[in-house]
Amino acid sequence: MSTSITKFGFKTAVSDKRLVGLWRMLAGFRLAYLGAVLGVGIAAALGSGNSLLLRYFVDDVLGQERFDRTLPLVGLSFVALALGQGAFSFLSGKLSARTAEGITRRLRNYLYDHIQRLSFTYHDQTQTGELIQRTTSDVDALRRFFADQAIGAGRIILLFVINFAALMSLNTRLALLSVMVVPLIVVMSLFFFRKVSKAYEAFQEQEAKLSTTLQENLTGVRVVKAFARQSYERDKFEQDNWEQFQRGRWLLTLHSMFWPSSDILCGGQMLGALVAGALMAINGTITVGTYLASTGLIIWLIWPIRNLGRLIVQMSTGMVSYKRVVELIKEEREPLDEGTYRPSGNVRGEIVFRDVCFEYDNGDSAVLKDISFRCEPGQAVALLGSTGSGKTSLVNLLPRFYEYTSGSLTLDGVELKEYPRHFLRQQIGIVEQEPFLFSRTIRENITYGVGREVSDEEAEAAARAAALHDVITSFPDGYDTLVGEKGVTLSGGQKQRVAIARTLLKDPRILILDDATSSVDTETEGEIRQALQHLMQGRSTFIIAHRIQSVMNADLILVLDQGWIVQRGTHDELMAQEGIYRQIYDVQARIEDELEREIGQTSEVSETSEVWEEVACVAL
């Protein structure tokens, strides 16, 4: 798909001037486009033919009183011309719709595909509203450009040339008199073109801001309500909306300044030409028939002149949107198949970090500092550390979501940068810290990204292993229950378990569990841990957890603090040392003891709160 789209020139359009780029976008539809323009041209020519026939009818038929066989023939010709004009107008409309809709359909598909191939860093730095705006409103402006303005340009040029030529054939002076205003219209339109371009760009930018505000407000509606911030949010929106209103008003004001000025010019031009024609007819310079014909031609000559200005101004919106869309197209994709190393078969899973440092593009300091450790194939490495210490950032380097800044990170002895990203992501399964579920059925969510047909039994087995099967069967629609906006909202723990089941099915060689059981109660966590223990066998696994119980069986435990590894070893080794690990262990053990005691004594809740405060301190 992507290659065929690239072939149609979206990529190459970037480096060229906007009009050339737009012409390239027409690839594959140029014939239909030319057909549409030709259709419009033929319709215009038939219209002019009508005026010329009128001249013939008045001067040569009525004037010569030739009422024999010529009269019905002329009548029939009028009908035929009108029919032809209608038919070609229709054909042109059909072809222009095909061109515009076809191009925008292809463009939308391309942008959708392109956006999901952009890097994590790009998505971190770009607002969703901006992306939505560019793929909807800007694409729509381009559709209008191709449907109306691109065809309109052809139509205007043809109408002008044909009617001007017809008028020239009748009377040169009259013809020249009728186009006097053209240079003025062009200059004025170009002036407005600049103004409208700027105003429209500002309008689109503000609209993107507005969609971001709206989208964030909707996503975070629970937070807004929970903090009773509705009025604050409304005021914020109102402010953005006021700005949008002002920019929109300025845009329309510009338009409304342009139309009357151009209408006055064109009206004056038409009146002048008609009066000049009438005077010529009175003087006998032209015949009555010629005058009648020229009135029709002048009207059809002024029409394109008037629309030329309109078109130039309207084109500015298409051009701005084109620029905005191309900016997005220009963004480098995350290459999926780069790297010189072509692995065959699955990886073994030997992972070695040597002095790896990492910094986010938008950050100002290193998030990971001199990380060095080794994970043998099939081993489990646990990461423990306070929040923000860099655990997620560390595991995110493995599937190459982000590139490490310095040091060396090898998988099976080959530098990670040599691996194609696509391959790495097939080999690695991640249960993310905040799993995302699609608004689809639970079954679809579980089988998402497995890359092969999954039988119902397999999906069920995965759900059982993730302690999820009983929850699913308690829903009336079972595995066909819709999740998300139009269906049930799953709890945090249930979502995590769907993510676990999804990863179990994927059957990856390297497993990353980023706080995978943080939203699950201790009992369920125990069940899942058993299932995971089984799953982890023979796979290199990274476990991030806050509970010592989840990490104590790991072959290597790394304690992170502000991006440094401050302690390393097995559970027993770490217990034998003074340090954060033993402190966490002690606090957690004490909490459990106290809880057990409290439950035993059914004591007041307020007493336990002190203990939780301590947990919070450790967690933070």
CB-based contacts of 471-474 (< 8 A; 24+ apart in sequence): 471/497, 472/442
Chain-centre distance for alpha carbon 156? 34
- C-alpha–C-alpha distance, residues 369 and 443, integer Å: 41
Q: Which does 263 bind (CB under 5 to 8 A by kind): Mg ion, ligand M5T, none?
A: none
Q: Which of 248, 378, 388, 579 binds ligand M5T (CB under 6 A)?
A: 388
Q: Which is nearer to Mg ion, 79 or 620 (CB)?
A: 620
Minimum Å gap between C-beta 391 and Mg ion is 5
Interface region with ligand M5T, contact rule CB under 6 A, candidates 85-93, 109-117, 384-392, 407-415: 384-392
Q: Which of 363, 449, 492, 538 binds ligand M5T (CB under 6 A)?
A: 363
CA-to-CA separations, 132 to 108, 136, 491, in angstroms, rounded: 11, 6, 28
Q: Which of 78, 360, 373, 448 binds ligand M5T (CB under 6 A)?
A: 360
Here's the x/- map for ligand M5T, 393-432, by CB under 6 A: it reads as x---------------------------------------
Asked if residue 391 binds ligand M5T (CB under 6 A), the reply is: yes
Q: Which of 128, 217, 433, 553 binds ligand M5T (CB under 6 A)?
A: 433
Chain-centre distance for alpha carbon 33? 27
Minimum Å gap between C-beta 388 and ligand M5T is 4
Asked if residue 385 binds ligand M5T (CB under 6 A), the reply is: yes
Asked if residue 496 binds Mg ion (CB under 5 A), the reply is: no
Whose tokens are 């699955």? That residue is 346
Q: Which does 99 bind (CB under 5 to 8 A by kind): Mg ion, ligand M5T, none?
A: none
Q: Which is nearer to ligand M5T, 158 or 580 (CB)?
A: 580
Q: Which is nearer to Mg ion, 51 or 392 (CB)?
A: 392
Q: Which is nearer to ligand M5T, 471 or 560 (CB)?
A: 560
Minimum Å gap between C-beta 515 and ligand M5T is 6
Q: By CB neighbour count within 10 A (0-12 exposed, 13-18 middle, 19+ buried), where does 288 fall?
A: middle
Interface region with ligand M5T, contact rule CB under 6 A, candidates 144-152, 272-280, 359-367, 551-559: 359-367
Q: By CB neighbour count within 10 A (0-12 exposed, 13-18 middle, 19+ buried), where does 59 fall?
A: middle
Interface region with ligand M5T, contact rule CB under 6 A, candidates 99-107, 163-171, 388-396, 527-535: 388-396
Residue 258 phi/psi, 5-degree rounding, is -75, -50
Interface region with ligand M5T, contact rule CB under 6 A, candidates 103-111, 131-139, 383-391, 521-529: 383-391
Asked if residue 392 binds Mg ion (CB under 5 A), the reply is: yes
Q: How many CB atoms lie within 10 A of CB 105?
A: 12
The token pair that represents 331 in the structure block: 């963004």
Q: Which does 388 bind (CB under 5 to 8 A by kind): Mg ion, ligand M5T, none?
A: ligand M5T
Q: Which of 124, 355, 456, 596 binds ligand M5T (CB under 6 A)?
A: 124
Q: Which is nearer to ligand M5T, 292 or 565 (CB)?
A: 565
- Residues 520/545, Cβ–Cβ less than 8 Å: no
Number of residues forming the site for ligand M5T (CB under 6 A): 13
Interface region with ligand M5T, contact rule CB under 6 A, candidates 145-153, 164-172, 371-379, 390-398: 390-398
- C-alpha–C-alpha distance, residues 267 and 273, integer Å: 10
Interface region with ligand M5T, contact rule CB under 6 A, candidates 93-101, 321-329, 389-397, 551-559: 389-397
Nearest to 371 by CA among 416, 336, 430, 431: 416
Lateral strand order in the sheet of 564-569? 428-431, 510-514, 540-544, 380-385, 556-561, 564-569
Minimum Å gap between C-beta 362 and ligand M5T is 6
Q: Which of 294, 392, 447, 567 binds ligand M5T (CB under 6 A)?
A: 392
Minimum Å gap between C-beta 370 and Mg ion is 20
Asked if residue 396 binds Mg ion (CB under 5 A), the reply is: no
Length of the chain: 620
- C-alpha–C-alpha distance, residues 44 and 160, integer Å: 9
Q: Which is nearer to ligand M5T, 207 or 432 (CB)?
A: 432
Number of residues forming the site for Mg ion (CB under 5 A): 2
The token pair that represents 476 in the structure block: 């009336």
Q: String of b and e for 245-255 (b: at least 16 CB within 10 Å)?
A: eebbebbeebb
- Residues 394/416, Cβ–Cβ less than 8 Å: no
Contacts of 365 (CB under 8 A, 6+ apart): 359
Q: Where in 424-463 is the site for Mg ion (CB under 5 A)?
A: 433
CA-to-CA separations, 446 to 422, 478, 502, in angstroms, rounded: 21, 13, 4
Q: Which is nearer to ligand M5T, 39 or 385 (CB)?
A: 385
Contacts of 134 (CB under 8 A, 6+ apart): 111, 208, 324, 325, 327, 328
Minimum Å gap between C-beta 555 and ligand M5T is 21
Single-letter code of the amino acid located at 122? Y
Q: Which does 135 bind (CB under 5 to 8 A by kind): ligand M5T, Mg ion, none?
A: none
- C-alpha–C-alpha distance, residues 489 and 505, integer Å: 23
Helix boundaries (H) for 116-181: 120-125, 128-135, 137-144, 151-170, 172-178
Nearest to 417 by CA among 398, 389, 396, 443: 398
Minimum Å gap between C-beta 311 and ligand M5T is 46
Q: Where in 195-234 is the site for ligand M5T (CB under 6 A)?
A: none
Single-letter code of the amino acid located at 574? L
User: Which residues in this chain contact ligand M5T in the complex, by CB under 6 A?
Assistant: 124, 360, 363, 367, 385, 387-393, 433
User: Which residues in this chain contact Mg ion in the complex, by CB under 5 A?
Assistant: 392, 433
